[in-house]
Amino acid sequence: MNQNVSSFDAAANSYDEEFTLSEIGKRQRERVFYWLEKSKALSSVKNIFEVNCGTGHDAERFHNKGYNVVATDVSIAMIKVSKAARNKGIYFYQRNINEIAIDDNVGHSDFVFSNFGGLNCLSETELISFFNELALKQKPRDRLAVVIMPNYCVVEDFYLLLKGKFSQIGRRNSKDFVEVDVNGEKVKTFYHSPRRVKKSLDNYYKVQLVKPIAHFLPPSYLEPFFKKNLWLLNWLSFLERTFGSVSVLANNADHYIIIAERR
């Protein structure tokens, strides 16, 4: 399973500035935590295992709410930033996603979390294997919450249309990977529809919730424009809060969240 290690290493030092603390990134993250709270997915949870934790922002948020958190990332540089910037009570360490199945910390947790497209580094076949292997570590009634990029994004395609980039419209809808620029590095990215992911989970999990994350909110790479036009971003954020509970919109959002329970 190729996780583009060097590419994410290159992004580590600027990731918080360019996404985590960006105006778009903050609004997208609030939608993720809105659904975690609204669904009560964290009720009775004590121990959280995070996959693809990046710079540890979510891990620290969970820790501050009283959860025991173990957080992993494929990038050594991301883990280095996390250890330096986050609470020392969080256990951060480097772990490739294909090693999760042999990681005992998964079995010691009761909630597995992966945010903002970490699992889009996996092909459909690899994603099925990941869920199946993860299930062997999780116990019945343990939960899983993942935030994934679908194979179509209406806001992205509207932007590409306005920019006259007609050849790029619908670029997500590919059975193969798409090369996405991350700090000048090309990252192989696979886009997965909610239907495919639900099917991948079917063997061991019961899906409890599928919701859009940023159907109206734009992709983060449009930050420079929207930072200068916060009124427009605030209006789109209002639309997200007002209509973002419609599950079918997950099919064409920038991201979507799936919450499932181990059978």
Distances (CA, A) of 27 to 31, 77, 216, 238: 7, 25, 11, 10
Q: Residue 184's pLDDT is what?
A: 65
Q: Residue 101's pLDDT is what?
A: 87
Q: Residue 85's pLDDT is what?
A: 96
Q: Residue 5's pLDDT is what?
A: 61
What is the average per-residue pLDDT within 20-33?
97
On whether the 5-262 domain is CATH 3.40.50.150, my answer is yes
What is the average per-residue pLDDT within 251-255?
98
Distances (CA, A) of 180 to 34, 47, 156, 221: 28, 33, 14, 11
Closest CA to 9 of 77, 81, 92, 80: 77
How far is it, in rounded angstroms, from Cα 63 to Cα 65? 5
Provide the mean pLDDT of the chain: 94
Q: Does residue 79 carry a pLDDT above 70?
A: yes
Q: Does residue 250 carry a pLDDT above 80?
A: yes
Q: Does residue 1 carry a pLDDT above 60?
A: no
Question: Which is more confident, 84 or 14?
Answer: 84
Distances (CA, A) of 110 to 62, 83, 106, 154: 13, 23, 8, 35
How far is it, in rounded angstroms, from Cα 2 to Cα 230? 37
R_g of the chain computed on alpha carbons: 17
- Cβ atoms of residues 238 and 27 within 8 Å: no
Question: What percentage of the chain exceeds 90 in pLDDT?
Answer: 87
Residues whose CB falls within 8 Å of the CB of residue 116, separated by 6 or more in sequence, listed in order:
19, 28, 29, 32, 54, 147, 255
Task: Report the Cα 91 to chain-centroid distance in Å.
Answer: 20
What is the average per-residue pLDDT within 93-108?
93
Q: Does residue 6 carry a pLDDT above 60?
A: no
pLDDT tens column, 149-169: 999 999 999 999 999 999 999
Q: Determine the Cα angle at 261 with ends 258 and 262, to 5°.
A: 130
pLDDT tens column, 30-56: 999 999 999 999 999 999 999 999 999
The residues spanned by each domain of the chain are 5-262
What is the average per-residue pLDDT within 212-221?
96
Q: Is the dihedral of CA 263, 148, 113, 179 positive or negative?
A: positive
Q: Does residue 102 carry a pLDDT above 60?
A: yes
